[in-house]
Amino acid sequence: MPYHVLHLLSSAQPEGGASIARLVAALAASLDPDRYRTHAWFLLEDGPLVGELQASGVQARVVLWRGGRWDLAAAYRFWRSLHSEDFALVHQHIRGRRFRVLIRARGGAKIIVHHHCSTVETEGVRIPLSSFAADRVIAVSRSMARDVAGTAASIVYPGIPIDEANGAQPAPDVSAGEDVVVGTACRLVPTKGVDTLIRSIAALRGQIPSVRLEIAGAGPDQDRLESLVRAAGLADRVKFLGWQDNLAAIMAHWAVFALPSMDEGLPIVMLEAMGSSLPVVASVCGGLPEVVEDGRTGWLVPPNDPEALAERLHSLLLNREQRRAMGAAGRARVEKHFSQARMVDEIARIYDEIMEVKNP
């Protein structure tokens, strides 16, 4: 009899939950169906990711719990739903001890808590990473693992599938006056530091008139960022692309990827940029230095420092050969250390250990 594994996720909207939903879909596609069956509940918001996971073979549904720990109706709904299947393992990707309390009260299931970030992104407040009532804790970076209280966390880096078609990128010649695009992709919230990037582009424009900035993403900070663009006189140089389902196609015409965040776990989009052979400029924060090799696959700069960011972007934009070399090194690094197959194998090994499965 296979073990039924339940994944607890937050939002079924792509801009809020796509990366974790892809992780669940990858597990469902790769795990032995005679050993594990995959289920997923979205707890905070309905959306198209439910159907996408169902199409990938996951038994996905929405079990809303929006009202906090004292939402008794939601607690009862969650409790009742737990009785719909004999779950052997619950893999929790959303914050909240309350879920684990009810799972423990239901009895029987092992619990994995998977920490993907340590900051409330809308307020930028760091919160303790809990191991309460968990049989195992997974963190997406060494930086995050150090923040987990009460137990040692297993580090499982995120991974992406490597597309053979993404190996070569165009290299605009700035000296010939060709437009050169700096790109970023993220939730538009203060912790992502997009305002720092906009200020760095304003500083660069006088030196490189052909520089442009494209921002892929959506979020509550968009109006403020658009106002900052207008105030800096960059309306013709900065483009907000909205949420993009196919980032690879967008990245194909970027010259450099920038992620000047003030805090991070280990974002999938950074791996996607490096997998697309883009050199990167990123902040020294969270797990980013564990991915970016400073001076080899890109550059690391202090958070909230538009001058330092502009300086590194300037050097890359004027040096096509350096962009090519750093992009190639970044892609090789992702292939070796951050593949989706490696991520799935490591999580499967944790499942087998916690369920005491004997491998042949």
Q: Mark whether 123 and 212 lie in a shared domain.
A: no
Per-residue tokens: 8: 């607890």
Residue 263 and residue 119 in contact, taking contact as beta carbons nearer than 8 Å: yes
Estimate to the nearest angstrom the gap between the alpha carbon of 97 and the chain centroid: 22
Averaged pLDDT score across all residues of the chain: 92
Greater model confidence, 66 or 111: 111
Beta strands in the chain (DSSP E): 3-11, 36-45, 59-62, 89-92, 110-115, 119-120, 125-126, 136-139, 154-155, 180-185, 211-216, 238-242, 256-259, 280-283, 298-301
Let me know whether 120 and 180 are in one domain.
no
280 forms beta bridges with: 257, 298
Alpha-carbon gap, residue 99 to 79, rounded angstroms: 9
Looking at 93-193, list the stretches that DSSP marks H as alpha helix, in order from N- to C-terminal side: 97-106, 142-145
The 3-state DSSP class for residue 256 equals: strand
In the prediction, which pLDDT does 163 show? 75
* Tokens 């109706």, located at residue: 73
Does one domain contain both 232 and 314? yes
pLDDT in tens, 115-173: 998 765 555 566 778 889 999 999 999 999 998 977 889 999 999 998 765 555 556 66
Q: How far is CA 28 from the centre of its chain?
A: 19
65 within some domain:
yes
How many domains does the chain fold into?
2
Residues 145 and 155 in one domain: yes
> Which residue type, as a one-letter code, is found at position 337?
H
Q: Does residue 293 form part of some domain?
A: yes
Same domain, 209 and 94: no
Same domain, residue pair 344 and 329: no
Q: Which of 10-19, 47-56, 68-77, 149-158 is modeled with the greatest confidence?
A: 47-56
Does one domain contain both 89 and 189?
Answer: no
User: Does 154 reside within a domain?
Assistant: yes
Q: How confident is the model over 103-122, as a mean pLDDT?
A: 85
- For residue 360, is it within any domain? no
Answer yes or no: do 208 and 100 share one domain.
Answer: no
The 3-state DSSP class for residue 180 equals strand
Does residue 95 sit in the same domain as residue 170?
no
pLDDT tens digits, one per residue of 202-233: 999 999 999 999 999 999 999 999 999 999 99
Q: How many CA atoms lie within 13 A of 11 on its CB side?
A: 7
Cα 212 from Cα 33, distance rounded (Å): 48
Is position 176 within any domain? yes
Centre a 10 Å sphere on the Cβ of residue 64 and count the other Cβ atoms it contains: 16
Which contacts qualify for 130-133: CB closer than 8 Å, 24 or more apart?
130/95, 130/97, 132/97, 132/100, 133/97, 133/100, 133/101, 133/103, 133/104
CATH of residue 315: 3.40.50.2000
Query: Is residue 121 domain-shared with residue 10, that is, in the same domain?
Result: yes
Half-sphere exposure of 153 (CA within 13 A, CB side): 26
Structural domain boundaries enclosing 317: 164-337
Q: Tabulate helix, strand, coil % of the chain (nearest 5).
A: 40, 20, 40
pTM of the complete model: 0.93
User: pLDDT tens for residues 294-340?
Assistant: 999 999 999 999 999 999 999 999 999 999 999 999 999 999 999 99
Q: In what order do the strands lie in the sheet with 211-216?
A: 238-242, 211-216, 180-185, 256-259, 280-283, 298-301
- Pair (177, 56) in one structural domain: no
Query: Which helix H or strand E contains 248, and what residues bound it?
Result: helix 247-251
Distance CA 198, CA 215 (A): 10
Do residues 232 and 256 both lie within one domain? yes
* Phi/psi at 299 (5° precision): -130, 145
Q: Does the residue 152 lie in any domain?
A: yes
Residue with tokens 């879920």: 99
